[in-house]
Amino acid sequence: MTGPGPAISQPSPNFGGRRDGLRPELVVLHYTAMPDAQAALARLCAPEHEVSAHYLIARDGRLFRLVEEDQRAWHAGTGNWRGRGDVNSRSIGVELDNCGNSPFAEPQMARLEVLLCDILARWQIQPEGVIAHSDFAPTRKTDPGPRFDWQRLSLQGLAVWPAPGTPASAPDEAAFLKAARAFGYPVEDGFAAVLAAFRARFRPWARGSLDESDMAAIEDLARRFAVDRAARRA
């Protein structure tokens, strides 16, 4: 893959050191929910807002570097993934210039693919480590939202997707939450919030009550990408 040019340096003052010797093991994808990239840059670089990300990708594919990858950007907020908090210290944050209800532009997606290839290789992050903001904070966040093309990333080994044709279990909220926890979701946020976050990413067309397709998808993801309790406590 080749990108449309080097990253543009736009340093943000909103960062600190990674805590407790932690290193990036996740990449968190966001949308800016702002009018354009310049408005997003202004907010992400303003000290008074105390928010940032490592990268911002504009709709036209321009890539802005705001915080160095070895530093802790302030993009994640509270929440946990795979039973562990302080997602800021364990992740690299990528903001995508998007209002939240529009398709993501082709130049932007192409640039994201190049960036993810580099980050995953540089930090030895597995595809299951590329997650949505809403995945680990389902009661607070909805980004990057149902218009984001996760399946496209998965076809290039840059994210994960449920395997087609997985046998379906009968809908069962407790079983769904058990599998969701094994995959990584913070199930203490409750069934409704976790189902909404799961569907936004993996079944954005789904509506209504928990169904067999939800069960098949989450159980497949849990089987393939579960982390045991000991690893989550490490």
Tell me, what CATH number does 92's domain have?
3.40.80.10
Q: Is 95 a catalytic residue?
A: yes
Residue 25 and residue 134 share a domain: yes
**Nearest alpha carbon to residue 53 among 3, 107, 12:** 12
Residues 23 and 126 in one domain: yes
Q: Mean per-residue pLDDT for 86-104?
A: 96
Q: Which of 48, 50, 69, 95 is catalytic?
A: 95
Q: Region 8-33: what's the mean pLDDT?
A: 97
Q: Label residue 3 by pLDDT band (50, 70, 90).
A: very low
Shared-domain flag, residues 84 and 151? yes
Q: Which of 155, 181, 215 is the last residue of a domain?
A: 155
User: Residue 5 — left, alpha, or beta (φ > 0 → left; ψ -120 to 50 → alpha)?
Assistant: left
Whether 147 and 179 share a structural domain? no
Q: Residue 27 — very low, low, confident or very high, per pLDDT cuts 50/70/90?
A: very high
Question: What is the C-alpha to C-alpha distance for residues 4 and 107, in angstroms, rounded to an integer?
Answer: 9
**pTM of the prediction?**
0.94
160 located within any domain: no
pLDDT in tens, 213-223: 999 999 999 99
For the chain, how many structural domains are there in total? 2
Residue-range definition of the domain harbouring residue 96: 8-155
Q: Over 50: is that where the pLDDT of 233 sits? A: no
* Domain-embedded: residue 44: yes
| 133 & 198 share domain | no
Same structural domain for residues 53 and 89?
Answer: yes
